[in-house]
């Protein structure tokens, strides 16, 4: 290879990994993570945990197939041997067996940034199985996280609160989740809290900050949660502080929702492309 085609160390991108599932239509999961990484200028790597195919014949519920745990271990062995990584995002894991092997691989490694998007429920998953998975995620992965991004439902589950209706409730949830995990928390109100703004609460144990952006419509868009956590991961990988990363990620998601893509599915998908081409945030 000539010097001209080799990326020099000085211009080498930050490298970030996502451990996530495939969502076949491309709106969520590993696909959303990789598009986000690319758009934000980091070199993206994926270890696939499962394959989700929505079922158009069954209300677009999720058909879920886990990747064999040994194959997940193999992917992580290849990745962690090839690259000296310090920044990882965790998306959908899906089964206790997957959580076991991922937790083992994560524990054996020193992470500066371990961003957990605590995907607790897969639409259409059998509730008993989902409960076991939730428990395992809380017991084995949450304690390893340095940053966690629960949505409205996940904030209730992780905080033990029965309802979250106001910004004050969301702040209380963020406080509780931080105390339980030690992680920086970005608790997402999204379209679920009333009002004109999409409100997220940032809490790192000292700074409590409410991040706001005008709601873009009233309906959740596929891929928003994955993209937010992936953007936080990319920014942390490039050296941003957690609060800077959260603010950049929120602006990126807001713009991606403005640029959303419609399909024959009954929901739109966020699009990471065209960043910076829309109206000023
Ligand atoms: O948005 C959560 C999510 C994460 N990962 C995968 C998914 C979904 C939702 O559909 O399919 C693989």
Closest atom of ligand 1 to CA, residue 224? 1
- Give residue 274's pLDDT: 77
Q: Which backbone phi and psi does 279 adopt, to 5 degrees?
A: -65, 155
Distance CA(281)–CA(264), nearest Å, equals: 29
Q: What is the pLDDT of residues 268-278, one digit of tens each?
A: 999 999 775 55
Q: What is the pLDDT of residues 21-43, one digit of tens each?
A: 999 999 999 999 999 999 999 99
Answer yes or no: is pLDDT of 6 > 90: no
> In order of start, what are the domains of the chain with their CATH numbers?
12-274 (3.40.1190.20)
Protein residue with least CA distance to atom 9, ligand 1 = 28
Q: What mean pLDDT do residues 249-260 have?
A: 97
Q: How far is the CA of 83 from the centre of ligand 1 (A)?
A: 26
Q: Which backbone phi and psi does 104 adopt, to 5 degrees?
A: -60, -50
Residue 279 burial by Cβ neighbours in a 10 Å radius (0-12, 13-18, 19+): exposed
Q: What is the pLDDT of residues 148-206, one digit of tens each?
A: 999 999 999 999 999 999 999 999 999 999 999 999 999 999 888 999 999 999 999 99
> Percentage of residues in the chain with pLDDT exceeding 90?
85
| Ligand 1 pocket, Cβ-based, cut-off 6 angstroms | 20-21, 23, 28-29, 52, 91-92, 119, 225-226
Confidence of residue 2 (pLDDT cuts 50, 70, 90): very low
Nearest to 224 by CA among 243, 245, 198, 203: 198
Q: How far is the CA of 229 from the centre of ligand 1 (A)?
A: 12
- Give residue 212's pLDDT: 95
Q: Is residue 174 within 8 Å of 185, Cβ to Cβ?
A: yes
- Give residue 137's pLDDT: 96
Closest atom of ligand 1 to CA, residue 52? 11
Q: What is the pLDDT of residues 65-119, one digit of tens each?
A: 999 999 999 999 999 999 999 999 999 999 999 999 999 999 989 999 999 999 9
Residue recorded with tokens 């957990």: 116
Helix and strand totals (H; E) in the chain: 8, 9
Residue 26 burial by Cβ neighbours in a 10 Å radius (0-12, 13-18, 19+): middle
Q: How far is the CA of 90 from the centre of ligand 1 (A)?
A: 12
Q: How far is the CA of 21 from the centre of ligand 1 (A)?
A: 7
Determine the length of the chain: 281
């Amino acid at each position: 290879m000539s010097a001209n085609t080799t990326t020099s160390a000085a211009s080498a991108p930050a490298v970030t990994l996502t451990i996530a599932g495939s969502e076949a239509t491309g709106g969520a999961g590993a696909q959303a993570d990789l598009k986000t990484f690319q758009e934000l200028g980091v070199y993206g790597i994926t270890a696939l945990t499962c394959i989700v195919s929505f079922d158009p014949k069954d209300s677009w519920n999720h058909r879920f197939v886990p990747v064999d745990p040994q194959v997940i271990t193999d992917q992580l062995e290849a990745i962690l041997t090839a690259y000296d990584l310090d920044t990882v995002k965790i998306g959908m894991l899906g089964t206790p067996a997957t959580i076991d092997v991922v937790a083992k691989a994560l524990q054996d490694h020193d992470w500066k940034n371990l961003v957990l998007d605590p995907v607790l429920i897969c639409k259409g998953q059998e509730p008993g199985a989902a409960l076991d998975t939730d428990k395992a995620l809380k017991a084995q992965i949450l304690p390893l996280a340095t940053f966690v991004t629960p949505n409205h439902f996940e904030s209730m589950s992780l905080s033990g609160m029965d309802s979250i209706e106001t910004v004050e409730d969301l702040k209380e949830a963020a406080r509780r989740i931080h105390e339980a995990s030690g992680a920086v928390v970005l608790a997402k109100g999204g379209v679920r809290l009333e009002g004109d703004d999409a409100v997220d609460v940032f809490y790192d144990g000292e700074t409590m900050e409410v991040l706001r952006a005008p709601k873009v419509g009233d309906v959740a868009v596929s891929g928003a949660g994955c993209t937010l956590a992936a953007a936080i991961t990319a920014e942390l990988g490039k050296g941003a502080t957690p609060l800077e990363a959260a603010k950049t990620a929120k602006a990126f998601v807001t713009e991606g929702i403005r640029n959303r893509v419609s399909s024959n599915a009954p929901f739109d998908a966020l699009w990471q492309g065209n960043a910076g081409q829309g109206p000023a945030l």
